[in-house]
Amino acid sequence: MNAIVALCHFCELHGPRTLFCTEALHAPLPQGTGSGDSPGQNEQVEEEEGGIQMSSRIRSHSPAEGASADSSSPGPKKSDMCEGCRSLAAGHPGYISHDKETSIKYVSHQHPNHPQLFSIVRQACVRSLSCEVCPGREGPIFFGDEQHGFVFSHTFFIKDSLARGFQRWYSIIVIMMDRIYLINSWPFLLGKIRGILDELQGKALKVFEAEQFVCPQRAQRMNTAFTPFLHQRNGNAARSLTSLTRDENLWACLHTTFAWLLKACGSRLTEKLLEGAPTEDTLVQMEKLAELEEESESSEGEEGKPCPQARAEEGRELSKCPTNASLLSEGSWNVPPHRLPVFRSLRHMRQVLGPSAFRMLAWHVLIGNQVIWRGHDQELIQSALDVLQTMLPVGCVRTIPYSDQYEETYRCNFLGLSPQVQIPLHVQSSEFAVIVDVRTATRSNLYPVLFMDDEPLSKYEFVVASGSPVVTDRVGPTILNKIEAALANENLSVNVVDQCLVCLKEEWMNKVKVLFKFTKVDSRPKEDTQKLLSILAAAEDDNIKLLKFWMTGLSKTYKSHLMSTVRSPTSSESRN
């Protein structure tokens, strides 16, 4: 946790002072501290417990000495400090703990070494013991701002037989820049800090009672009631906290306690990614999985084994559902190196086919025309179809990976064929289909520059043909132009392009949902539909074709939800 825990004291001579503070260092230690996680010649291991290794550290000057040794260091001058303002003795190295689990170092000293941190802690100390006071002067309080950090402060009194009112004023503060995290940690910090100050007050109370038993101060002060109190400050009035508690190991115990507090408070709250409503792709995949389970249960024979026909249908259905793994990522294929798929991403395919041929192919894919790949290499065709499917919602994908006969458009929009299959003439000349013939290259190395390490690519050439070739100057679907811009931008990695495609599909699926609700559910007239398409920036012919095709990919869950909402009495009343 990026925070600082500090013990502060209100001195009768010098005002609010920081006595002891502990901070967590994620970066290398400040100059003058030990380097590395293991103690070296300037560090002596004292204790190791619970994964935190405690050691003393040698510095060029003690924190308690302030700026006496270095005028540029933060902290008050030695002449401005009394015994009550000082925690560690002159020359004391301070404390440092190494957390082996997280490689975080917890450093304790009287003042932070960094000037900016010193200023923040100093201001929080002054505010906690002067202006920011809760009723009764003892208890927790919260204050702060974005510039100087936010502070959880708990003020308390320590018994002292020599102090005015027989008690001295202290506070324990926790400073961090994250306001929400600090507020959420309030109950935890309050309980643990109260335990610390209860222990300090208990030790001081025992010392106070022992001193009062030996020499009662109340009666002595009654006898000197008319003597000015100011001259008593020159005596032994300013006493250190170790003297008040008679605990020589007080600062070492506070260091371990503060270090544990920072570690425990940082690990008790973790961030969780809260996902919203499931996407259409997720709903469609869940529906298809449920259908497969129902089919497998209904097709089980008497012996409890599914029949061959059910297995074939199950395999075909599974081929229609692409996996969640990204097909745009170069490393998403988990196959042996000697059988690498030819097409690893959309960018890879665009480089192989060329921009114009790829644009024609992608145009047919997006508006729902049938895409046919024909060739000998079944693995090559499978990889090409898998990559092209990433441009569509899952509900719009109907695939037959490899077949020995032509399949009609209503059965599949992605079709792989062996080279012996004759495609009907009406399909070859149709504007609703595009055919990619994978042929053996006539030259030994067709792509020597782009794909020197890609042996499979040097064996093939790809001929893309369609009855309705896309004109190069045609605007085309808006999403196609954005996809091409992302693929052509070499500054974008494959993973970034992957996320761009996900966002684009979600954007256009939202437009599809609006159009479906507007036309199919509400049955609005055609004039209103044209106005809606203009508002959605999808009034062009290609965009309209895309929206109508993608509408077929909406999940049954979404459609039934809309229909049930419209038919419910509450919705009809709200319309009226």
Lowest mean pLDDT among 106-120, 260-274, 549-563: 260-274
Residue owning tokens 């003020």: 155
Nearest to 319, CA basis, from 279, 355, 288, 365? 288
Mind listing the pLDDT tens digit for each residue in 180-212?
A: 999 999 999 999 999 999 999 999 889 888 887
90: DSSP letter: T
Give the whole-angstrom CA distance, residue 45 versus residue 206: 33
CB burial of 125-138 (b: ≥16 within 10 Å; e: otherwise) equals bbbbbeebbeeeee
Q: Is the pLDDT of residue 229 over 80?
A: no
DSSP secondary structure letters along 437-493:
EEEE-SSS-S-TTT-TT-TGGGGEEEEEEESSPPPTT----HHHHHHHHHHH-TTS-
Give the whole-angstrom CA distance, residue 475 versus residue 325: 31
Residue owning tokens 């293991």: 38
Domains of the chain plus CATH, in order, are: 3-27+83-219+232-267 (no CATH), 346-442+456-474 (3.40.50.12430), 496-567 (1.10.10.1730)
Burial bucket for residue 169 (CB in 10 Å: 0-12, 13-18, 19+): buried
Give the whole-angstrom CA distance, residue 539 versus residue 105: 61
Mind listing the pLDDT tens digit for each residue in 283-298?
A: 888 888 888 888 877 7
Helix (H) or strand (E) holding 119: helix 115-129
Strand ranges for 243-288 from DSSP E: none
Q: What angle do CA 114, 120, 123 make, to 5 degrees?
A: 135
Identify the residue with better confidence: 321 or 360: 360
DSSP secondary structure letters along 406-434:
---TTT-SEEEE-TTPPPPHHHHT-TTEE
Residue 251 · residue 96 · CB < 8 Å: no
Mind listing the pLDDT tens digit for each residue in 318-350?
A: 444 444 434 333 433 343 344 455 788 999 999
Residue 25 · residue 226 · CB < 8 Å: no
Give the whole-angstrom CA distance, residue 148 versus residue 128: 13
**Predicted local confidence at residue 38, as pLDDT:** 42
Residue 389 · residue 397 · CB < 8 Å: yes
What's the residue count for the chain? 576
**Predicted local confidence at residue 342, as pLDDT:** 77
Give the whole-angstrom CA distance, residue 482 versus residue 404: 36
Q: How many CB atoms lie within 10 A of CB 356?
A: 12
Mind listing the pLDDT tens digit for each residue in 493-528?
A: 989 999 999 999 999 999 999 998 888 888 888 888
Read off the tokens for 341.
């798929």
DSSP secondary structure letters along 189-247:
HHHHHHHHHHHHHHHHHHHHHHHHHHS-HHHHHHHTTTS-SGGGGGSS-S--HHHHHT-
Mind listing the pLDDT tens digit for each residue in 38-58?
A: 444 444 444 444 455 555 443
Its pTM stands at: 0.49
Nearest to 283, CA basis, from 483, 105, 509, 473? 509
All residues at 6 or more sequence positions from 107 whose CB lies less than 8 Å from its CB, including other chains: 22, 23, 25, 29, 30, 33, 57, 94, 95, 96
Give the whole-angstrom CA distance, residue 472 versus residue 454: 29
Confidence tier at 237 by pLDDT (50, 70, 90): low
With H, G, I as helix, E, B as strand and everything else as coil, classify residue 1. coil
The partner residues of 168 in beta bridges, in order of sequence, read 158
334-343, 466-475, 526-535, 562-571 — most confident range: 526-535
- First vs last C-alpha separation in the chain: 55
Q: Is the pLDDT of residue 364 over 60?
A: yes
Residue owning tokens 């507090």: 261
**Predicted local confidence at residue 488, as pLDDT:** 93
With H, G, I as helix, E, B as strand and everything else as coil, classify residue 144. strand
Confidence tier at 125 by pLDDT (50, 70, 90): very high
The crossing angle, in degrees rounded to 10, of helices 346-353 and 478-488 is 90
All residues at 6 or more sequence positions from 218 whose CB lies less than 8 Å from its CB, including other chains: 166, 212
**Predicted local confidence at residue 221, as pLDDT:** 61
